[in-house]
Amino acid sequence: MTLDSCKTSFIEFMLEARALKFGDFTLKSGRKSPFFMNAGAYVTGRQLKELAGYYAQAIHDHFGLDFDVLFGPAYKGIPLAVATAMEIYERYGKEVRYCANRKEIKDHGDTGILLGSPLRDGDRVVMIEDVATSGKSMAETVPIVRAQGDVTIVGLIVQMDRNEKGLHSSHSALREISELYGFPTAAIVSMKEVVAYMEEEHLLSPEIRERLQAYYQEYGAIED
């Protein structure tokens, strides 16, 4: 598999930050996974700015800039939305608002379930997440966004497609999300691309390779 320089650069950045870990992890979906993608590993100003740059480019390339709001689901999506909105302005001169949801509705001061910009009728919204595993988080988030008014969800961008099946079909979670909710989805890189890079660079141990193969035999997405 031949990767372009942007994908290779992002994989190297992700591994350097240890945002991708190998071990034993229980995911939100309940699956037992030999790897875990953690956006919380990006903790410095440099890392967040660089990560936002990859997101900004991916949004530009996949969805364009004809949108008004960048929505980040709580909690990891919040810093992603803030940093990427800033980077989109710096790179492209495009002013977009950021919005996020709260896990609990606030009943004093700045009340409601949202923080950042309110969503208004006519808004075009891009959703930003760290990773899509089974699609469960979108089942919680999409209804919140659509309940705010007559908005259009332009698309969902994640940093890595895990290439595993969603909750309701044998297709990938990203494809399932797209089909269920009617908007396109995209990722900066896929786990297949990460594994191909790590194989080429001799970074995968025989144990991890075997565990990945077993995991994808059970949960791997079937693509047409």
Give the pLDDT of residue 183.
97
Name residues whose C-beta falls within 8 Å of residue 147's C-beta, 6 or more positions apart in sequence: none
The per-residue pLDDT for range 149-166, each reduced to its tens digit, is: 999 999 999 999 999 887
Q: 70-84 burial string, b = 16+ CB within 10 Å, else e?
A: bbbbbebbbbbbbbb
Residue 215 has pLDDT above 60, yes or no: yes
Residue 197 has pLDDT above 70, yes or no: yes
Q: Which is it for strands 97-106 and 69-72: parallel, antiparallel or unpaired?
A: parallel
The per-residue pLDDT for range 70-81, each reduced to its tens digit, is: 999 988 899 999
Give the pTM. Answer: 0.91
Give the pLDDT of residue 105.
61
CA dihedral 216, 176, 157, 195 (to 10 degrees): 10
The per-residue pLDDT for range 1-59, each reduced to its tens digit, is: 667 889 999 999 999 999 999 999 988 778 899 999 888 899 999 999 999 999 999 99
User: What domains, with CATH codes, occur in the chain?
Assistant: 5-215 (3.40.50.2020)
The per-residue pLDDT for range 121-141, each reduced to its tens digit, is: 999 999 999 887 666 778 889
- Predicted confidence band of residue 109 (pLDDT cuts 50, 70, 90): very low
User: What is the average pLDDT across 174-186?
Assistant: 93
- Predicted confidence band of residue 201 (pLDDT cuts 50, 70, 90): very high
Q: Which residues are catalytic?
A: 106, 108
Share of the chain above pLDDT 90, in %: 72
